[in-house]
A = this chain, B = another copy of it.
Amino acid sequence: MKEPVDSTEFIPSLRASIVKWRQQGKKGVWIKLPIGLVSLVEPIVQEGFRYHHAEPDYLMLVYWIPDTPDTLPENASHRVGVGAFVLNSNGEVLVVKENSGEFKGTGVWKLPTGVVNEGEDIPSASIREVKEETGIDTEFMEVLAFRQSHRSFFSKSDLFFICMLRPRSFDIQKQDLELEAAQWMPIEDYVNQPYNKEHQLFKYVAEICKTKAKMDYSGFSAMPVGPDSGKETYLFFNNRDFN
């Protein structure tokens, strides 16, 4: 729906349509209502519609016509984040100190992290975050590990991918808004920070990075498997073992 319409006009027309759709055997009715048409939300809900999802500028309402169980697809359930393990040829890892959030003032040097934007590929997101936070250009290599957690945000879950990147530049340009400091740090110093010893998740992640740096650890690399709906689709798998 795009054009303004009065509820005294819209609701009778919606009712007539649902009668027709029921006869035609249609099942689900979707109304994508721009926030500018907010005055229609209440009358539409009074017709028996429920919320499906919302974005800043619209609300999606749904109605299931038949008496069978509702098979409408579920809403998005996960937020996705990335952490970047960028190792240079001197065995140093790119680390940052954040000046807000839970790490503020802790002195902990951590991997650059960020949220994957809607429609963004995991490799691109990890490259973008490193560039934004430190100015370093990188190339995506592998996903080394990922974590699933729950209730990170209301009832939503969280998937967080640790990505290994190869640096293409070396001079750090720190982003001032989010960061107190950024540097290249010997990987042993990064791993041996007390915080990484005391927190099981961080300990594993640090040890996995160290194993990758020193020895033979194969993560999942990204294989383009053809565009779908105009965007690239990637399959991530253990390409070393596969070959």
- By a beta-carbon cutoff of 8 Å, the part of chain A in contact with chain B is 35, 38-39, 41-42, 45-46, 50-60, 73-80, 115-122, 144-157, 159, 200-201, 204-205, 207-208, 211, 215-220, 223, 225-226, 228-231, 233-238, 241-242
Contact = CB atoms under 8 A, between A and B. Distances in A.
23 contacts: A35-B50, A38-B45, A41-B42, A50-B56, A53-B54, A54-B54, A54-B60, A59-B59, A74-B115, A76-B77, A76-B78, A76-B156, A77-B118, A145-B220, A148-B233, A150-B229, A151-B230, A151-B231, A159-B159, A204-B225, A204-B235, A204-B237, A208-B237
Q: How many copies does the complex hold?
A: 2
A79 B117 CA distance: 14
A205 B234 CA distance: 12
A73 B153 contact: yes
Nearest to A123: B148
Given A150-B231, A204-B225, A220-B220, A51 B45 contact: no
Contacts of A154: 53, 60
A119 B233 contact: no
B60 A52 contact: no
A242 B218 CA distance: 9
A237 B144 contact: yes
